Amino acid sequence: MTTRSWVILVVAISVAAVFRSVVAYNGSLWADEGSFLNAITAPTWREMIQFLRLHESHPPLFYLLMRAWSHFMNGNDTWLMVVPIVLAVAIVPVIYAVGRSLFGEGVGLIAAVLAAVSPQLTEHSAQIRPYGLLYIAALTSAASFAMCLTSGTRKAWILFVVATTTMLYTHNWAWMILAGEGMAGLYVMRHSSSGERNQLVRKASIALLAVFALYAAWFPSFVFQSRHAGHGSVPIERFSEYVGFILLSIFRTLEATVIGRLSDKQFVALGGLVAAALAVAAVSVFYHPQSDPRPNGSKTAFAFARARAAILLRIALFSLGAALLVSPFNNVILPRGVVTVTPILLLPAAWWIKTLMWHRASRDAARIGAIVCCFAVVAAFVETASLIKRPRSNVGQIADLVRRGAHADDLLIVAPEWFAASFDHYFPPSIEQIDYPYEGRSAMIDFTDIWENRIRSTAAKRIEEKIRKAHAANRRVWFVFERRYMRNFTPDEMDRAYRHKQPGAISVRDVRRIRATLDSTYGPPRIFEANEPLPINDEMIAHLYAR
């Protein structure tokens, strides 16, 4: 590496470290992070594995890593964030190394810079969750598979086996990546000679057998989780709804990989237009395309690079296609999952940018590239600024408000129970508490037959009786819930929720029922809200009911 390359890489790592750290420490832990802490603090390692099998929807690798680190650091929250931040920042040198290996040093540096400033990677990897490790493992798996399909060295196949096994043990979204790799491999084999095809089939079969053998110990737990956990199916009943779902998924994919949430759409549009106009003018004046499409005169190297970029692009697109096919049964088109393909997409994007810098594309292609880059840069700037400004969650502030205002005989209701995971982290046992639908404080979310338990539960009757008794005893009642759960489902929406077994909709219904019972019993509540910008994830509010 040249001195210039070292400087660029160090700056990119430093920028990534600052962005990830600010986002990671900005605000309270949110619901999923609270649930994670409940898992790694199980009394024994065996109980933690059992907890994951029954009460989480993820494999154990990251949990094992964090449990070991937690014991070493004595469970301190601040120190617990170190591992996720290190993994979140590690994507920068990893994507540099992968890009350099596949395409050369210039592409590796461009990819490293893109990864450092990516708001999507910043948001989702800066959490006490498996995503940072997942993104690294998925990138390494896809890149090594691209190397296997184009060069086929034994080292590349071994790296593919190790990275893919790590990916599968980190997060179940990894199966979408593996499916994308399989379809990309079939595409390459279809366009190969019979001799090359037979050799690829043999090596790929051996590699996949090795992966499945290494994963066999967890596979029964994965099957259990696939049947009992997840996010429910997407309510699609008509062809027009499926078309709408595809269009919405495309937009969400663009949000999760390129444009972000567009927190300030007007600024992105105006800033992007101004930057694009200047860039197009600069291209028109200074860009002089060259006819030779072979950088450094190496036709073979350029062909290999183009083939690898195409393979990575197909892996990403086929992975998203697999997610689209699965989602009508178990919705996996979620931003934190879709972002898994972002590092994979950054490599062909960096190669394309480098090709433009070589002046090897037409002037029209250069103009299009300049426009795309300008809008992407402006959107990334706006999204990163929004992430830095907005806290992840306000649950810590709400827990503190309840703690300071609570009386010894108050009753506290937190609903639904997955938000109690983070709330209870900040609220020590001090008053009678119900993490609905459980009868007391809950340290877990029981995914076992969660739909059947929701529709058969007698928790609603129990909580109504509890509220009536509290009112008769002249006790105050605190009700803590997430603001989005104030919405009202129409009868048709509830019917669809029942048909598609969506426990989230039932939880919204239950939250509204509890509020209605409290309102009719006590009258209007006193509302407690955190005085801060709108959180990225959980916006908790507290209602205090008193006679």
The pLDDT score that the predictor gives to residue 131 is 94
Q: Pull the structure tokens for residue 193.
A: 């000679």
Distances (CA, A) of 183 to 177, 179, 190, 222, 318: 10, 6, 11, 22, 7
Q: Pull the structure tokens for residue 253.
A: 């994919």
Check if the beta carbon of residue 408 is closer than 8 Å to that of residue 524: no
The pLDDT score that the predictor gives to residue 236 is 76
Quote the radius of gyration of the chain (alpha carbons, Å). 25
The pLDDT score that the predictor gives to residue 461 is 87
The pLDDT score that the predictor gives to residue 265 is 67
The pLDDT score that the predictor gives to residue 184 is 95
Picking from 128, 201, 211, the residue whose alpha carbon sits closest to that of residue 174 is 211
- Residue carrying structure tokens 């076992």: 448
Which residues, at least 6 apart from 353, have a Cβ–Cβ distance to it below 8 Å? 110, 369, 373
The pLDDT score that the predictor gives to residue 517 is 95
| DSSP 3-state of 542 | strand
| DSSP 3-state of 191 | coil
Chain-centroid distance of CA 346 in Å reads: 17
- Model confidence, pTM: 0.90
What residues of the chain score a pLDDT lower than 70? Answer: 75-76, 230, 232, 258-265, 289-299, 358-361, 443-453, 456
* Cα–Cα dist 60/66, whole Å: 10
* Cα–Cα dist 362/96, whole Å: 27
Check if the beta carbon of residue 145 is closer than 8 Å to that of residue 315: yes
Handedness of CA 121, 123, 125, 131 (dihedral sign): negative
